[in-house]
Amino acid sequence: MFVYYLNNLIRTFPFFLKGLWMTIEVSALSLMIGTVIGFGVGIARNARIPVLNHVLGVYIDFMRGTPFLVQVFIVFFIFPEWGIQLDAFSASILSLSVYAGAYISEIVSGGLDIIPGGQIEAASASGLNWFQRMVHVVMPQAMRPILPPLVGQYVLLIKDSSIVSVIGLTDVTRVGWLTVQRIPEGLMVFGLVGILYFVICYPLIHLSNAFEKRLRLQEFKLG
């Protein structure tokens, strides 16, 4: 019986590859958009404008304080009641991007906070405007502590993308759910799903570890 199920699983493998590609596509687009949102919000919060800081704080607290599944349901089921109709693919991108942006903004804000104020004041006294200070002084230094947790957040986002399968997106997780209905070997089917996610995430995990080691080495040399 095991061999029979295994043969059936092998025959459905092309569908898993299609689901894997959908997972990669949704994750990649969400990562790009979420990164833009996260850096924009993180830099805006670092500006310390009271009203703006409060509004952005509400956004971040809501996204971090509510289950991602609920956020997906709001986008896919509640938005149409407000006249915003999105298909599963668009709803997945929007949900993941806004969700990732909240977490990335905290990473960016934390990285910017470690830049000594004296350096910014010196750059301002040198005649650099805000944009020039960010490009030439602040961001080059902030990116070192930002990169390791940022890549780690990318890994978490890819894994969280499995949740959007509940709204009908045919990603690798949904292919697993559909397959297990015909091949009642959950361990075999979702073991394959887990392996496919690992294939996507492992290079990023390795990259995050490399960034962390490099950062610790630089701190050791500076110390």
* Cα dihedral 190, 32, 104, 79 sign: negative
Radius of gyration of the chain (CA): 21
- pLDDT for 219 equals 57
Tell me how far apart the alpha carbons of residues 196 and 172 are, in angstroms, rounded to a whole number: 8
Tell me how far apart the alpha carbons of residues 84 and 162 are, in angstroms, rounded to a whole number: 23
CA-wise closest residue to 156 among 81, 86, 99: 99
Summarize pLDDT for 141-186 with one digit per residue, the tens.
Answer: 888 888 888 988 999 999 999 999 999 888 999 998 888 888 877 7
- Sequence-distant (6+) residues with CB within 8 A of 204 are 151, 154, 155, 158
Tell me how far apart the alpha carbons of residues 63 and 77 are, in angstroms, rounded to a whole number: 17
- pLDDT for 197 equals 93
How many other CB atoms are there within 10 angstroms of residue 80's CB atom?
Answer: 12
The four Cα atoms 126, 129, 131, 132 give a dihedral, to 10 degrees, of -30
Type of residue numbered 99 = Y
CA-wise closest residue to 158 among 17, 56, 50, 22: 22
- pLDDT for 27 equals 94
Q: What is the total residue count of the chain?
A: 223
- pLDDT for 1 equals 67
Summarize pLDDT for 88-104 with one digit per residue, the tens.
Answer: 999 999 999 999 999 99
The pLDDT-based confidence of 220 (bands split at 50, 70, 90) is low
Summarize pLDDT for 7-28 with one digit per residue, the tens.
Answer: 777 888 889 999 999 999 999 9
Tell me how far apart the alpha carbons of residues 62 and 103 are, in angstroms, rounded to a whole number: 11
CA-wise closest residue to 16 among 197, 221, 166, 151: 197
Summarize pLDDT for 30-81 with one digit per residue, the tens.
Answer: 999 999 999 999 999 888 788 999 999 999 999 999 999 999 999 999 999 9
Residue tagged 């602040």 (tokens): 138
- Domains in the chain and their CATH numbers? 2-222 (1.10.3720.10)
Helix (H) or strand (E) holding 80: none
Q: Helices 50-65 and 88-113: crossing angle, nearest 10°? A: 120
Tell me how far apart the alpha carbons of residues 96 and 164 are, in angstroms, rounded to a whole number: 9
